[in-house]
Amino acid sequence: MRSLTTVSELEGAVGKRPPIHHLKSIPDLDEHCVAILAASPFAVVTALTAAGSFVTTAVGGPPGVCAAGGPTRLDLPALAPLDVPDGTPAGIVALVPGYGETLRVNGRLRTGAAPHLEVEEAFLHCAKCVIRSHLWDEPAGPSSGSTGGSTPTDPDVAAFIARSPFVFLGSADAGGGADVSPKGDPAGFIRVLDESTVAIPNRPGNRRTDTFHNLLERPEVGVLAVVPGDDRVLELRGRAHVTDDAAICADMEVAGKSPSAALVVAVDHVDLRTDPALALSQLWDGARHIEPGMLPKGTTVWVDHVKRNDDPGLAAKAARTLMNEKLMEKGIDRDYRTNLY
């Protein structure tokens, strides 16, 4: 199996990052981020341990379970104590039931009596992973399976993987910048290659490819998988690499299209567990889906964030000048309809 180990090899498979790929990121929590957080009852948190691995967990409760404590502070009162150093790199993905986009916030985790994230970056993730996974459609429902298991091929673990349409990937670069990326596809998109290896396809998204670039510098990765309607989560930890192996990618074909690359994880930790965050958040209760118009459209957020970005480059200046919501909405709508796979 070929591993992509250089930026040129990686970009040859998944494409180069657009020159202005980072312009939708801002260094703090603006009014859009605050509104999304106030509506979110569930978030996934990943943090780097002292040993260099990732611990990935969920927090759940009423809307606003993760709340802005200021422009550069994200309070996490529901976060259970984690065995990580104070100030460790960490990332968060917040979900709002019925809302297509997800909010990603990265920074440094402060532990103690009032756990919180010191915000370094915030941006809205596109809705493709939610659309592909049908995350907010009719839930799959509870399973009769148990918790436990120590490898991806253990029966209950393998059954959970086969039912999961959505995962969160935690990674970090060599400088300690952590990130959590949501990935979604039809249930069963995670492939179990053997008793210690799984593969996750790369689909068209926001083209930042943060996880893949991080893995070139630091191979450790954390994975948290969920199944709509199930009160369990599956946490995997290990070391990962990116491949464009033709056989692996062909096996992940959907709608006649194979992914350009896949993330292959050598798993050294498996934890299938009941997570109270899912019950507390009531994430898949259709009655709790956000009403249309209660949150800003993704295009509104992206336009405002691009215009706030202070990158001095000529491409960035041009983007800020030319960017408008009507133009972006037209492009995003077409992208969501025609470029899911």
- The band of 289, judged by pLDDT with boundaries at 50, 70 and 90, is very high
Tokens of 160: 């959970």
CB 35 within 8 A of CB 295: yes
Whether residue 180 contacts residue 92, with contact meaning beta carbons closer than 8 Å, is answered with yes
pLDDT, tens only, 99-145: 999 999 999 999 988 999 999 999 999 999 999 999 999 887 777 77
Average pLDDT over residues 257-281: 95
193-218 pLDDT per residue, tens: 999 999 999 988 767 788 999 999 99
Stretch 143-156: mean pLDDT: 86
**Domain 7-338 fold:** Pnp Oxidase; Chain A (2.30.110)
First to last CA, the chain: 23
Are 104 and 91 a contacting pair, CB within 8 Å?
Answer: yes
Per-residue model confidence (pLDDT) at position 159: 94
Sequential DSSP letters for 227-296: -TT-SEEEEEEEEEEEE--HHHHHTT-BTTB--S-EEEEEEEEEEEEE-HHHHHHTTT-GGGSPPTTSS-
Average pLDDT over every residue of 21-48? 93
Residue whose C-alpha is closest to residue 36's, from 84, 105, 131, 83:
105
- Domain ranges (residues) in the chain: 7-338
Per-residue pLDDT band for 72 (boundaries 50, 70, 90) equals very high
Strand partners, 239: 220, 266
> Quick one: what percent of the chain has pLDDT higher than 70?
97
Residue 314's pLDDT is 64
pLDDT band at 20 (very low <50, low <70, confident <90, very high): low
Query: pLDDT tens across 240-260, in order?
Result: 999 999 999 999 999 899 999
pLDDT of residue 17: 80
Q: Is the pLDDT of residue 278 over 70?
A: yes
Average of per-residue pLDDT values in the chain: 91
Token pair recorded at residue 8? 């040129």
Residue-wise pLDDT for 46-59, tens only, equals: 999 999 999 999 99
The reported pLDDT for the residue numbered 21 is 66
